[in-house]
Amino acid sequence: MSIPRSLFIQLIDRVTEIYKQKIRVGCTGCEYCLPCEVDVNIPYIFQIYNDLHVFGMEENSKRIYKSYMEKEKDASRCIECGKCESLCPQGLEIRDYLKEAHLALAK
């Protein structure tokens, strides 16, 4: 028994919609924002933050973020220079998202 193509496409569209709703930061990981002047690991912090919300990986996400804090590469190091935002092809408000991610991951 095979699934009709139209139902399969509807299913894929629905899964994609759910995934997009859970994503907090639309970062593609392109790394155009790097290197950061103060060595904040921007795309990886956003990946951890998205994993927290998309997959519910709270314990794991916070553990990984703690290691970034220990390496002094976490979002709290951001000096808000804005250079990363001027380089971001997605036009993300990186400084705001870093604050949001830090609040969620550092507690």
Q: What pLDDT was estimated at residue 87?
A: 97
Largest CA distance in the chain: 58
Q: Are 106 and 74 in contact (CB under 8 A)?
A: yes
Residue 56 one-letter amino acid: G
For 29, other C-beta atoms within 10 Å of its C-beta total 11
Q: Hey, where are the domains in the chain? A: 28-105
pLDDT digits (tens, 9 = 90+) for 38-68: 999 999 999 999 999 999 989 999 999 999 9
Q: How far is CA 51 from CA 21, 26, 33, 98, in A?
A: 13, 12, 20, 15
Percent of the chain scoring above 70 in pLDDT: 99
Query: What is the value of pTM for the model shown?
Result: 0.85
99: Cβ contacts below 8 Å, ≥ 6 apart: 75, 78
Q: What pLDDT was estimated at residue 18?
A: 85
As a whole number, mean pLDDT of residues 59-79 equals 96
